[in-house]
DNA sequence: CAAACAAATGAAAATCATTTTCAGGACCGC
DNA sequence: GCGGTCCTGAAAATGATTTTCATTTGTTTG
């Protein structure tokens, strides 16, 4: 699966005439080795830990490439911070976000998915993407609150 | 309806022990006189037009009060810009956003609404809010594209 | 009604995330 | 290897928002 993503990026790079650089390889490896919804800063820190020479402008630039290449997805949380997560081809999931502890839980719902397309169609929109964020209090924080 | 919102804000102000100031009255009036999804900058310009003395820090501060008071809602668009819209008690609507021209169309869907609550419940979340943004190309931009 | 204190304001500075600039360094085709 | 171009890192620039702080303005009390 990691290999598949690397191939996806290589294909994109080839199509766009991008050069292959050590930095991009490193950032891709580290990005693929995570399973979280990373902020740029977080990824930058991980990268810097093993490769101190890499600057954060490069991390910013590279993450945008990943989005264009189709292997990452950008999400803007309430509060304005941007996070990146793996994009698995054809899979659409949405997020439950705990407003206390910022924990993010992913979910998928085919019915909502279908309704979204119907709504877009009804308004004449050609749908290219969507974001749904349900905000609330997670079980752990609910429990902690009672104490 | 405008009066009702003013009362809502007055109630909130009273509860919080906020003082009543000319600036807040002006900003509330102008905010209520619009029907758009305003950015802070846009509201600030409207305010400044009739009341040049009011600074943008005050507009920022006041909009946050409106959100807390429950009469406005904050939305973060992809790209990071924040917009504020009227929040009508009990009404939940979501947005179709044209990624070409940034036009925003509102919609409501009771079925999705219900499914969202089911999903939250299934994960043990106590739902406090949600944002759903469907991104795509609006009919006008689609048409323009063909030219 | 005046005094007194706290809250609110405006302007400017500070902050934060992100983008751009630019000079040097690294890839790739030849 | 050579040369042009793309890529990179560091720092500066940007843009939105927040904070600071001196001043003004409500409110409360005597």
State whether A128 and B82 contact (CB < 8 Å): no
Residue B64 CB contacts under 8 Å (≥ 6 apart), including other chains: none
With bands split at pLDDT 50, 70 and 90, how would you rate the model's confidence at B89? Answer: low
Query: From CA A116, how far away is CA B12, in angstroms rounded?
Result: 36
Q: Which CATH class is domain B2-86?
A: mainly alpha
Segment A4-45, tens digit of pLDDT = 889 999 999 999 999 999 999 999 999 999 988 899 999 999
State whether B137 and A126 contact (CB < 8 Å): yes
- Of residues B36 and B13, the one with the higher pLDDT is B13
* Mean pLDDT in residue range A40-69: 96
State whether B107 and A127 contact (CB < 8 Å): no
State whether B112 and A112 contact (CB < 8 Å): yes
Q: For tokens 């949380």, what's the residue?
A: A77
A56 CB less than 7 Å from any atom of strand C? yes
Residue A38 main-chain phi, psi, to 5 deg? -90, 140
- Nucleotide nearest A13 (Cα, C1'): D6
Task: Determine the pLDDT at residue A17.
Answer: 94
Every domain range in chain A assigned CATH 3.30.1490.190: 94-146
With bands split at pLDDT 50, 70 and 90, how would you rate the model's confidence at B102? Answer: confident
B6 CB less than 7 Å from any atom of strand D? no
Task: Determine the pLDDT at residue A77.
Answer: 79
Query: From CA A117, how far away is CA A136, in angstroms rounded?
Result: 25
C-alpha distances in angstroms, A20 versus A9, A12, A40, A129? Answer: 10, 11, 21, 29
CA of B30 to C1' of C5 (A): 32
Segment A89-98, tens digit of pLDDT = 667 789 998 8
Every domain range in chain A assigned CATH 1.10.10.10: 2-86
Torsion of CA B21, B22, B24, B26, to 10 degrees: 170
Q: Which secondary structure element, helix H or strand E, spans residue B134, and what is its range?
A: strand B126-137
- Of residues A107 and A1, the one with the higher pLDDT is A107
CA of B17 to C1' of D28 (A): 13
Q: Which residues of B touch A134 (CB under 8 A)?
A: 116, 119-120, 125, 127, 129-130
With bands split at pLDDT 50, 70 and 90, how would you rate the model's confidence at B90? Answer: low
CA of B82 to C1' of D16 (A): 9
Look at residue B94 and tell me whether its pLDDT is greater than 70. Answer: yes
* Mean pLDDT in residue range A66-72: 93
Q: Which residues of B touch A120 (CB under 8 A)?
A: 96, 134, 136
Query: From CA B147, how far away is CA B142, in angstroms rounded?
Result: 9
State whether B76 and A74 contact (CB < 8 Å): no
- As a whole-number percent, the residues of chain B with pLDDT over 70 amount to 97
Task: Determine the pLDDT at residue A90.
Answer: 65
Segment B43-82, tens digit of pLDDT = 999 999 999 999 999 999 999 999 999 999 998 887 778 9
Angular region, A18: left φ>0, alpha ψ -120 to 50, beta rest: beta
Contact A57, A40 (CB under 8 A): no
- Of residues B144 and B38, the one with the higher pLDDT is B38
Task: Determine the pLDDT at residue B56.
Answer: 97
Provide the β-strand partners of residue A135. Answer: A97, B129
Closest CA to B133 of B85, B84, B99: B99
Closest CA to A99 of B1, B27, B127: B127
Contacts made by residues B141-145, CB under 8 angstroms, sequence distance 24+: B141/B98, B141/B100, B141/B101, B142/A124, B142/A126
- As a whole-number percent, the residues of chain A with pLDDT over 70 amount to 96
Q: Select the residue from A94, A107, A126 to test the B interface by mutation, using most B Cβ atoms within 10 A.
A: A126
B51 CB less than 7 Å from any atom of strand D? no
B23 CB less than 7 Å from any atom of strand D? no
Task: Determine the pLDDT at residue A89.
Answer: 65
C-alpha distances in angstroms, B142 versus A70, B43, B114? Answer: 23, 30, 32
Fold of A94-146: Dna Ligase; domain 1 (3.30.1490)
With bands split at pLDDT 50, 70 and 90, how would you rate the model's confidence at B147? Answer: low
Task: Determine the pLDDT at residue B72.
Answer: 94
Structure tokens belonging to residue B33? 């006189």
Look at residue B29 and tell me whether its pLDDT is greater than 90. Answer: yes
Alpha helices in chain A (DSSP H): 2-16, 22-32, 40-50, 56-69, 110-122, 139-146
> How close are the terminal C-alpha atoms of chain A, in Å?
43
CA of B97 to C1' of D15 (A): 22
Mean pLDDT value across chain B: 90
């Amino acid at each position: 699966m990691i290999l598949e993503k690397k191939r996806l990026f290589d294909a994109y790079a080839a199509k766009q005439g991008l050069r292959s650089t050590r930095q991009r390889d490193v950032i891709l490896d580290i990005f693929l080795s995570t399973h979280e919804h990373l902020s740029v800063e977080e990824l930058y820190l991980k990268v810097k830990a093993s490769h101190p020479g890499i600057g954060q402008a490069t991390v910013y630039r590279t993450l945008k490439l990943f989005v264009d290449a189709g292997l990452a997805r950008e999400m803007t949380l309430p509060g304005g911070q941007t996070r990146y997560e793996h994009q698995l081809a054809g899979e659409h999931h949405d997020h439950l976000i705990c407003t206390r502890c910022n924990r993010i839980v992913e979910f998928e719902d085919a019915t909502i998915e279908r309704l979204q397309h119907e709504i877009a169609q009804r308004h004449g929109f050609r749908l290219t993407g969507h974001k749904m964020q349900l905000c609330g209090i997670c079980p752990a924080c609910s429990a902690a609150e009672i104490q």
